[in-house]
Structure 1
Amino acid sequence: MSATADAVVIGAGVIGCSVALELARGGFQVVVVDKAGGPGQGSTSASSAIVRFNYSTLDGVATAWEAFHCWQNWSEQLGLSGGEPVAGYHRAGMVMLDAPPVPGDRARKLFGRLGIPYEDWDADELTRRVPGIDPGRHWPPKRIESEEFWAEPDGVLGALFTPDAGFVEDPLLATANLATAARNQGVRFAFRRTVTGLLRSGSRASGVVLDGGERLSSRVVVNCAGPWSGALNRAFGIGADFTIGVRPMRQEVHEVAAPAGFGPTGPVIADLDLGVYLRPTLGGGLMVGGTEPECDPFEWVDDPDSSNPRATAASFEAKVTRAARRFPGLRVPGRPSGIAALYDVASDWTPIYDRTELDGFYVAIGTSGNQFKNAPVAGRIMATLITEVERGHDHDADPIVFSCAHTPGRIDLGAFSRRRPINAESSGTVMG
């Protein structure tokens, strides 16, 4: 491997591979370094890969809507035509049940501004369109061991349905597709290598040091290290002017057999009323994840490398029992199944796509478990930002506005600044 490049990307997850691809398309010679043995083998591989548009800000919604159009035409987006397997997008639709953290009126206004189709469902329409669902209102979410959890509902719920939402079948394959497209643009990958230091020349980054002492010189370094990103910044002395912090958090996703009538093609269900989300699998299963209800403590992790990757009985019982409250026909198995991985959680659950106080050092971090869907656009955002800043643009004083390629949206990249005010409209959960 050459000891020089225009840009070094740290991390070969879905975000890192997308950033590398778009930088290469812009003329950069790129090297991607990752401690794993291949692309997407960190937290990306555990993603539920849901594509939805419900975010708390206009810029977040615009990013997701633009990304949906990329997933719809994935082969064309990546320029792949060699007959290799390509990750499929399944337009299952998404049912967002009414709940205080995700106000329906706000979503309708944002969807209306961007032309995103949606439908309002009352409880009758909900039960007609989603066989087996119980529309009972249980807010706020409660611990399953409490008597209150088993109380009768105090009303019924409606929902906001977005027909274009859905999921990517295989997040690992999607990331491999990005890596293939990046290689086709000349990107080089250094797997099973660890970045141990940052090179500096005067007041800017000038490359990285790898395990074994090898130096890789570059004029740009991009931190896309996922749950390791915060520790990497601290090790490099980066973050003095950040108003937004990042921290790894362990989260589990479980899989059970879907209840009768719940087909493999959907819909995805976001149920903040009970504190779970549900996503079908093509094999007839149902993925059950959590939406960080206040009754459950967050599981922060100090060392991502020591996090337990196995599902636990406590998390399994809590999440699947809540799902069974919504779908009474859902069977709760006696043994836990599923996986655990780490979110790279930002203070307001909104990512940081930005430069830093050190010239030449950039970050695509704080993805908070909700940015897999946005990866195709995140790569373009970062490539645009890096190109303009390296040309001398003062992004801190005059935030770049990103023009979407597939939709009329224009995204104020100041919304993803490291120095932004904390997003007061955030749900404080994976919903963003």
Structure 2
Amino acid sequence: MIKRNILFFFIVCTTLLQAQSFSKEIFEPKQDSIKKRLLLKSIGNGYFPTKYFNFDLRYLIKYNQYEGIRTGLGLITNDAFSEKYRINGYSVYGFRDHRFKYSIGGGFRLSSKTDTWLNVSYTDDLQETGSANFITDGRSFQFFEPRLLNIDLFHKHITKTIGIEHQLTPELQTETEFAVSKINPTYSYGYVLDHQVIQHFNLSTAKIAFQWSPFDDVQLTDTGLNETKEGFPKFTLQYTKSLKDVFGSDFAFSKLDFRTMYQIGTKNSHLSEIILVSGVANGNTPLSHLYHAYPNNITKETILQRFSVAGLNSFETMFFNEFFSDKFTTLQFKHFFKPFDVSLRYKPQLVLITRLAFGDMEQPEKHQNITFGTLNKGYTESGFEINKLLFGFGLSFTYRYGGYHLPEFSDNVAFKFTFNVSL
């Protein structure tokens, strides 16, 4: 396991270094440095730009326990193609499950002043069971996503969506979405509904989400949204309703999810970060749409066997598939000390971390062929990171204590790499 993870880290680092090297070579020395910075910024956001479309770097190479190596290509049209229309899609292949996945979609800009888009998509892919996402987050990009290495609980889904994104005010972003999905867990699972056990199911869901950033300096221009300064706190609220019997949907449930983020200080000095996430699901909700609190620890006997890479906001000592809840709250506190000024380029940084999670489930017996606990006792872990020791890599140490402290000392310890890089 360790050898496989280290090999994957080197693949990622090599890809990143090649991208950085390539970005330097494609410019003549006399060209304006602004173009270089724009290219690096675009790559940092996960895109490699060309004349009419951008390559989406999220799909180049990843790894997880179900697909093994997952590689492919994503594309999205840019403003040179059209400022009113966009087309996006991707195709990937998993070398362990021997299966292609893909998505195709597009959008039509209804209003440039309010950055209003009508979007449609068709997706045939995998999704991690228990992962709760906010649709206002849009796309996210990391050169390396540590949690993906060890995830093994996925469900296949074929999903058709139509949605509208709209900037209600410069500080308030809204998005609505209607989706129809066919879901097939890749693991043995059944849900008891009306005295029957359902293993494959259909869902029709309507979502509405609001992201409020009252302290951002944002302007709505003729070309769209222009953020000049990021402020805190930020608030996100999302409501989901599953509509039974609409387009053959099997379940009727509702979900309410909330998140707030707050930062005190500056990145180049001392910085404290607080993230609160909470969610509640009511009604008959399958495991695919419940909450797992983002664990990041594999089930192995020794600390060295569990040695992998720490995530950005995950519970490092919580084992995968250990807990699921239909109501949960997590609170995370990080304090970033001022980077150690060893040299102009070498500046490691110490980070203190504490995480808490609370949760419960009303009818766990409805979920068949899978064993898990809840978080009603309260889960706590604390530790530290020393980041950017070498080529973006650092070290992390986390300890599990409180209501879910385990009898063996070593089972409460997570010792891992960290990986932080910016362009």
The TM-score normalised by the length of structure 2 is 0.21
Larger RCO, structures 1/2 (Cα 8 Å, 6+ apart): 1
- As a proportion of its length, which structure holds more helix? 1
The TM-score normalised by the length of structure 1 is 0.21
